Structure 1
Amino acid sequence: MISTRIATLDDLNSIAPLFDAYRQFYEQAPDLELATRFIRERLQNSESVILLASGASGEVLGFCQLYPSFCSVEARPIYALYDLFVTPAARRSGAGSALLQAAEQLAAAQGKARMDLTTAKTNTAAQAAYAAQGWVRDEVFFAYSKHLAR
């Protein structure tokens, strides 16, 4: 059985290694110190909501991180589901689906108009999971990004 819940600062040591692994999936160098600092700041400053999925014995199987934002066109608040990661051993266990469902329930309860996410074009397993949960791929808009000098 998989359960989900909102993480607190007490969960930092469980989330940080998963967040570090998530970043490595997206070809970033391992950096547990950076991952820990980043997650700590998000939780301390209430800048994101992190949901955890746990197995029957309480082991953390994965997480998703939601950032509050707004949709100007709809003039309503939304969530950006920016991070979703399930440990390799827990993939295909339903943990990812449980996190997506928990995020949807939370967003609806908080009056969000919708949730947005992006994923790598090559991440076909995640794309299939999103489609199975009712997410619709945007075929109208392109996403752009610009890195700024530090």
Structure 2
Amino acid sequence: MTHTIRQATVDDVEQLVPLFDAYRQFYGRTSDVAAARTFLLARFASRESTLFIAHQGEMAIGFAQLYPSFSSVSLARIFILNDLFVQEQARRTGVASSLLSAAATFAVSLGAVRLSLSTALTNDAAQALYRSAGWNRDEQFSVYHLALAV
């Protein structure tokens, strides 16, 4: 069966919530549907991200979430592709590639010069997907994080 990709709206939240919750579980977090809903609703309300949703028929099967940013060195807009998830039964059918393509098309339409993402060092399937889609692994910079007490 074929799939479709479109930009999500707040009306899609109830379809996005189980996908977003499954995505978080994939990365070792405990399921929290209520928190997932609250988080997504806040992103829509404050227009802090852009989401794309993938459907197979009427069923939501994947999503991608972009956060806007800027490159001071390039003096240009960039986007961080922070989240990409496809339900297990729909993997290896081109859905993730279509979501990546939709994200790139959207970013180009807003004049962005780059999309950036990170994935787990052990996520070989995702890394293969990114390479096959033309993404290049950064060989110049190391990424560091500072955990902040909240």
Aligned residue in 2 for 1:6: 7
- Report the Cα offset of residue 148 of structure 1: 0.6
Aligned residue in 1 for 2:145: 145
- Residue 86 of structure 2 aligns with an amino acid whose one-letter code is V
Structure 2 SS opposite 1:68: strand
Separation (CA, whole Å) in 1 of partners of 2:25 and 2:72: 33
Separation (CA, whole Å) in 1 of partners of 2:52 and 2:93: 17
Aligned residue in 1 for 2:59: 59
Structure 2 SS opposite 1:11: helix
Aligned residue in 1 for 2:34: 33
1:33-112 residue pairs with structure 2 within 5 A? Answer: 33-55=34-56, 57-112=57-112
Structure 1 outlier segments of 4+, above 2 Å: none
Separation (CA, whole Å) in 2 of partners of 1:103 and 1:2: 16
**How many pairs does the alignment contain?**
149
- Residue 75 of structure 1 aligns with an amino acid whose one-letter code is L
Separation (CA, whole Å) in 2 of partners of 1:121 and 1:68: 24
- Residue 108 of structure 1 aligns with an amino acid whose one-letter code is V
How does the TM-score come out when normalised to structure 1?
A: 0.97
Separation (CA, whole Å) in 2 of partners of 1:130 and 1:20: 23
Separation (CA, whole Å) in 1 of partners of 2:59 and 2:83: 19
What is the alpha-carbon root mean square deviation over aligned residues? 0.7
Separation (CA, whole Å) in 2 of partners of 1:99 and 1:46: 20
Structure 2 SS opposite 1:115: strand
- Residue 110 of structure 1 aligns with an amino acid whose one-letter code is L
Structure 2 unaligned blocks of 5 or more: none
- Report the Cα offset of residue 58 of structure 1: 2.2
Structure 2 SS opposite 1:61: strand
Give the fraction of aligned pairs with identical amino acids, expressed as a percent.
46
